A and B are shown apart, each in its own frame.
Chain A
Amino acid sequence: MPGEKPTEDPGHALAGDHGSADQDRRPTRWPPGFADGRANRRALLVLTALRGITPRQMLEVADREGSASACLAAVKAGRAGSAADREHARELDPAAIEAAVATCGARFASHGSEAYPPQLENLKDPPAGLFVRGLPLPRRDRTVGVVGARNCSDLGRELALTIGRDLAASGMCTVSGAARGIDAAAHEGSLEAGGDTVAVLGCGIDVGYPRGSRALIARIAEVGTLVSEYPPGVPPEPFRFPARNRIVAALGTALVVVEGAQGSGSMISAEHALDLGRDVFAVPGAITNPLAYVPHALIREGATLIRGVDDLMRDLKLDGGPGLPRRRLDLTLAEQATLDLVTEPVLPENVGKGLGLSVPEVLPLLVSLEMKGLVRNVGGRFEPRLEARAG
């Protein structure tokens, strides 16, 4: 085959070389003074609302044009972005965007301004500006990212909640994406303990998405920090979430991945974190557990395995901080024996077999343990809760 088309292979390799050479030459910084001055800031507001230009492409345009105003002029003139962007850029009124930003109580931290979080500069494609609602963003060394599956297990949710809570108790801020599942649990844990939490949205700064997290997002807007690359009114779209993940990864000093199925967004976040040189922690699971796919893949790539929140706190050197009080448990001998047998999801009759008890005899023991918060029933099988291991 190579003989038939001699030009293709070398050509391909050449193109590849070009590509990597291009990549090396690709700008990763906004030009100095890119967004300085009122005119540039207003132009940038319009640019953030465009759909057809990724931050990476915008960087190239900026590299060529120099300032935000010049970039916007290039888009309007059709020298950058798509035809739709050109139309859109002509229609958008920067004053209206400014008004909308003020209405929802947000601020715009453009690149180069004091409010712009410096840790984002480490990204290959840092956002040109960030919309922020609520408290100012905490420092990077005070912030830890927690991400994971949306369709998480009860155990995963509980773990994320505990991580959020313990981080908050140690004075750390939790950053995540406000998605349901692990993200939401991490935020909630942090809020529960009265800690700081940052939610990075994949839609406009005033848009409550996902719908299930609307109340959570509203709460974070009050007592935490909301962050988005997108101005008010921008709808959630599939391509915005992977972009959002890079900000989650960049804002913190470390990233914890609790659960993630193959092909999930947690993998993208973790890869960004690894690229940025952030510490990545992953909670393992059974090798048959589809939700353990991403953590296992990350551990193989060099992430640190943690067996629970204690490992994380030790590794982050936070275990000197205020810990959580451990509950003393008063269990009968039969309850303790039952608990010892519940090490993985198990049917009540199989617990009974291990104890030599019938189903009607073992069910009261299991329900009693359930009421004490030590086991839970998932789909007809009983499994241990985190407390059971600590107790």
Chain B
Amino acid sequence: MVMGVTVVGVRGHPVVVEAHIGRGLPSLTLTGLPGAPVQDARDRIRPAVESSGLEWPLRRIVVNLSPGNVRKDGPGLDLPIAMSVLAASAQVPGDRLARFAFAGELSLKGSTVSTPGVLSMAIAAAKAGLEGVVVPAANAGEAALVDGLRVVGAAGLADAVRFLRGAWDPPVAVPGQPQQARHDAVDFAEVRGQAQARRALEIAASGGHNVLMVGSPGAGKTMLARRLATILPGLSREEAVEVTQLHSVAGLLEGGGLVGSRPFRSPHHSISLPAMLGGGSGYVRPGEVSLAHHGVLFMDELTEFRRDAIEALRQPLEDGRVVVTRMVGAVEFPARFTLVAAANPCPCGYEGDPKRQCRCLPHRIQLYRQKLSGPLLDRIDIRLIVPRLSKKELLGESAGEPSAAIRERVEEARARQRDRYASLGYPCNAQLPGPVARREARMSQGAHEVLAQAVDALALTGRGFDRALKVARTIADLTSAVEVSADHVAEALSYRMSLSEGSLARAG
């Protein structure tokens, strides 16, 4: 009996692998709901065993994977299946075998291959109370992130056998170095002009608000969105482990360390639904919404995305997770991200531009706006018009504040929210449901008056009211004010936008 681990969603599930060698023509049968990738292992393992100088029993072999009700997918079961056959043919001793879990894909030569999801497997092994794990050497740094677990990085099947026979004392595996993402190379200091947009993104980062940026081509929407990830508060260790697990399962982890910075994902608008939410044939991979977990999901040209891909964002935006339903059960991935969407104001892109005439027919603009509106828009608190700046407007604009300085203020504002909502369990203002936000906002008399006035003067809707209130609360948190003032509300009202009719900025 050998312990293996299979990954369902982002969680590892221990799998007991047993082999029976009986009479009959030489063959290898797998039972216990193996998925297609696991079935592949049947033809891979015999050459791997023989290349490693071990003997393959030429008899009828049955390998059972239990529990039988969980579908086993992914190539991580190669090593435990091989070990079970070796154990059943008495080629390895049993004492260490029972105390370790095995995970890893094998090549025909018997060497181990870097395997996705090892971090999740190691966490599952630790939870199951095992002493350690034997994983591919390439994944040892990743598995070593789990405290109190002995990690054996095996270069091949032969290493694992030598270790079990007590003939090899593997070096202690060191946790990988935190990985900085490439998008960390950008900085807000490089942005000239766009003071209102910079301010809006600082508020978005502070309160966890989703952002819609509408502006003509060349206004700098993408440039701004990329820099949002650099001013979000740093990842806590717990968050970093979650992100690393997801990226490991997706096979995107490089170097084996914890992911050190918040992810920034910008899927192309032609993306399919499974790629967006997670899925794939057989082995369920996390989608873009999960790869952006604790980071930024940037949807450029929002209107070009398929309608179903936009609609599908509702669940993750609401619950912070996504459930992919398959024939053999549902798989859940965490997906709590900050959404940054960008769009042109109209099909030609120049509506509201003082220098260029918009050439769109009104019903085309209306159809276009309809794609933008709807339930997704209700979850976006900050709507921003990003104007295309003229040369004159750019001239004399000094470089902006560096990201690090902005991030300091953001961290402080987040800390205030965490303290205030500690008993309620919400991390930031954006996550508050409307009634809770109204109760907890601590609005001054003046703030109430401005909001009431806006309902009439700006045709503010009920939802628009709640959004302005939450954003105003975040602005107050940025200035460490206890009460929300009239000015906070008035500024919050400048980040609203109606897409139903007429020019973009007219109502809320």
Contact = CB atoms under 8 A, between A and B. Distances in A.
Interface of A: 151, 154, 180, 211-212, 261, 288-291, 345, 347-350, 352, 359-361, 363-368, 370-373, 376-381
B494 A381 contact: no
A359 B195 contact: yes
A150 B427 CA distance: 49
Given A154-B502, A377-B385, A380-B385, A364 B196 contact: no
A364 B357 contact: no
B387 A381 contact: yes
Contacts of B389: 347
Given A151-B358, A380-B215, A371 B453 contact: yes
A154 to B, nearest CB: 5
Nearest to B357: A290
B505 interface: yes
A349 B198 CA distance: 11
B458 A370 contact: yes
A212 B458 contact: no
Contacts of A261: 357
B54 interface: no
A359 B196 contact: yes
Contacts of B198: 359
A212 B385 contact: no
Contacts of A377: 385, 494, 505-506
A102 B199 CA distance: 63
7 contacts: A151-B357, A347-B393, A364-B490, A368-B450, A370-B457, A371-B457, A379-B503
A290 B393 CA distance: 21
Given A261-B357, A377-B385, 4 more contacts: A349-B196, A359-B198, A370-B457, A379-B505
Interface in B337-384: 345, 351-360, 362-363, 384
Contacts of A378: 352, 354, 503, 505
Nearest to A350: B393
Contact of A376 (B355, B475, B494, B505): B505
B491 A364 contact: yes
Interface string B454-492: 100110000000000000000100000000001110110
Interface of B: 193, 195-196, 198-199, 215-216, 345, 351-360, 362-363, 384-387, 389, 393, 450, 453-454, 457-458, 475, 486-488, 490-491, 493-494, 502-506
Contacts, number: 99
Contacts of A348: 195-196, 494
With most chain B CB atoms within 10 A of its CB, the pick from A352, A366, A381 is A381
Contacts of B488: 364
A345 B195 contact: no
A94 B200 CA distance: 66
A381 B354 contact: yes
B351 A367 contact: no
A383 B387 CA distance: 14
Contacts of A350: 393
Contact of A379 (B345, B493, B502): B345
Contacts of A359: 195-196, 198-199
A260 to B, nearest CB: 11
Contacts of B359: 151
By Cβ-Cβ distance, the 10 closest A-B pairs, closest first, are A379-B352, A380-B387, A364-B490, A377-B505, A349-B195, A380-B385, A371-B457, A364-B487, A367-B490, A363-B491
A373 B457 CA distance: 8
Contact of B490 (A211, A349, A363): A363
Nearest to A154: B503
A373 B351 CA distance: 22
Contacts of B215: 379-380
Contacts of B195: 347-349, 352, 359
A152 to B, nearest CB: 11
A337 to B, nearest CB: 16
Given A151-B358, A347-B393, A350-B393, A379 B491 contact: no
B266 to A, nearest CB: 23
Contacts of B393: 347, 350
B353 A367 contact: no
Nearest to B389: A347
B193 A368 contact: no
Nearest to A212: B362
Q: Which of B356, B362, B458 has the most CB of A within 10 A?
A: B362
Nearest to A180: B362
A267 to B, nearest CB: 16
A367 B345 contact: no
A154 B457 CA distance: 17
Given A360-B475, A378-B505, A379-B387, A347 B196 contact: yes
A368 B491 CA distance: 9
A260 B40 CA distance: 70
Contacts of B494: 348, 363, 366-367, 377
A216 to B, nearest CB: 13
A372 B458 CA distance: 9
B363 A212 contact: yes
A347 B450 CA distance: 23
B362 to A, nearest CB: 6
Nearest to A286: B354
Contacts of B352: 378-380
A261 B350 CA distance: 15
Contacts of B385: 377, 379-380
Given A154-B502, A359-B195, A364-B490, A380 B386 contact: yes
B386 A367 contact: no
B505 A360 contact: no
Contacts of B353: 379
A211 B354 contact: no
A348 B194 CA distance: 9
A379 B351 contact: yes
Contacts of B354: 289, 345, 378-379, 381
Which of A211, A350, A370, A373 has the most chain B CB atoms closer than 10 A to its own CB? A370
Contacts of B493: 367, 371
B452 to A, nearest CB: 11
B308 to A, nearest CB: 29
A380 B504 CA distance: 9
A364 B506 CA distance: 16
Contacts of B357: 151, 261, 290-291
Contact of A372 (B193, B457, B475): B457
Contacts of A289: 354
A366 B199 CA distance: 15
Contacts of A211: 363
Nearest to A352: B195
A348 B393 CA distance: 11
Nearest to B358: A151
A349 B356 CA distance: 22
A222 B385 CA distance: 40
Which of A154, A211, A261 has the most chain B CB within a 10 Å cutoff? A154
Contacts of A363: 196, 199, 490-491, 494
> B345, B486, B491 — which one has the most chain A CB atoms within 10 A of its CB?
B491
Nearest to B491: A363
Contacts of A364: 486-488, 490-491
Nearest to A361: B487
Contacts of A345: 354
B364 to A, nearest CB: 11
Contacts of B450: 368
Nearest to B495: A363
Nearest to B497: A377
B500 to A, nearest CB: 14
A361 B199 CA distance: 11
Nearest to B195: A349
Contact of B355 (A288, A347, A360, A373): A288
Contact of A360 (B358, B360, B491): B491
Nearest to B356: A290
Interface centre among B193, B384, B490, B506 (most CB of A within 10 A): B490
B480 to A, nearest CB: 14
A166 B50 CA distance: 97
